[in-house]
Structures are given as C-alpha cells and as structure tokens.
Amino acid sequence: MKFGVKILPRNEVLDSQGRAVEKTLKQHGFEIDHCRVGRYVQIEVPDSEMKSATDKVKKITEFVLFNPLIESVEIEQLEK
C-alpha cells in the first residue's frame, strides 16, 4: 500500500519559504491570499491489512517525518 504524508509549517511558525514564494507570485501579478511551503513524503509498505499499514505509517510519521512543535501533518492513502 502506498501513502502520502503532507507536512506543512504550523501557522504560528513564520514560514519564510512560503513568504518568499508568496512575494514572488504577487510581484508577477498573481492574485493570491497566502502561500505556505512544506514537504511531501511517499511511503510504500508491504502490509495488505489497512489497519496495520496505517498504524505503521502513523508510527513512522511520528518517529521522524514531522516535528509537532513546528509542523502539522496529514496522511493520505494513494494506492491499495
């Protein structure tokens, strides 16, 4: 099974990358309200059971993929 892990800087944390991209987009005339930049991690696990697969990906995510102090996270299933 394949999963995607979306990681974004938390709103309280100044996202300097997002701010720089936002500024450039606005300079080029794009009408946008806000832009944030994060990272995306794809993980493929051999598990066939949904529960064990999602538990594993959650565990991996909490172990290293994101830092709860500065980032928020969302896990999505991509393929069975």
Partner 1 sequence: MRVSQIGILRFPGTNCDRDVFGAIESLGLKPEWLWYEDRFEPSKYSAFVLPGGFSYGDYLRCGALAARSPVMDSLREAANKGYPILGICNGFQILCESGLLPGALVRNASQRFVDKWVSVRIDGSTTWLSKSDFKDTLKLPVAHGEGRYYVEADVEKELRANDQVWCTYLDNPNGSIGDIAGVMNKTKNVAALMPHPERAFHSWLGGEDGVKLIKPMVGL
Using CB under 8 A, list all residues that contact partner 1: 9, 12-14, 16-17, 19-20, 39, 63-65, 67, 69-70
Nearer to partner 1, 17 or 52 (CB): 17
Give the single-character DSSP code of 1: -
Nearer to partner 1, 70 or 78 (CB): 70
Residue whose token pair is 């946008």 = 32
Nearer to partner 1, 16 or 50 (CB): 16
Could you tell me the CA-to-CA distances from 12 to 4, 9, 24, 63, 70 in Å, in that order? 24, 8, 22, 22, 8
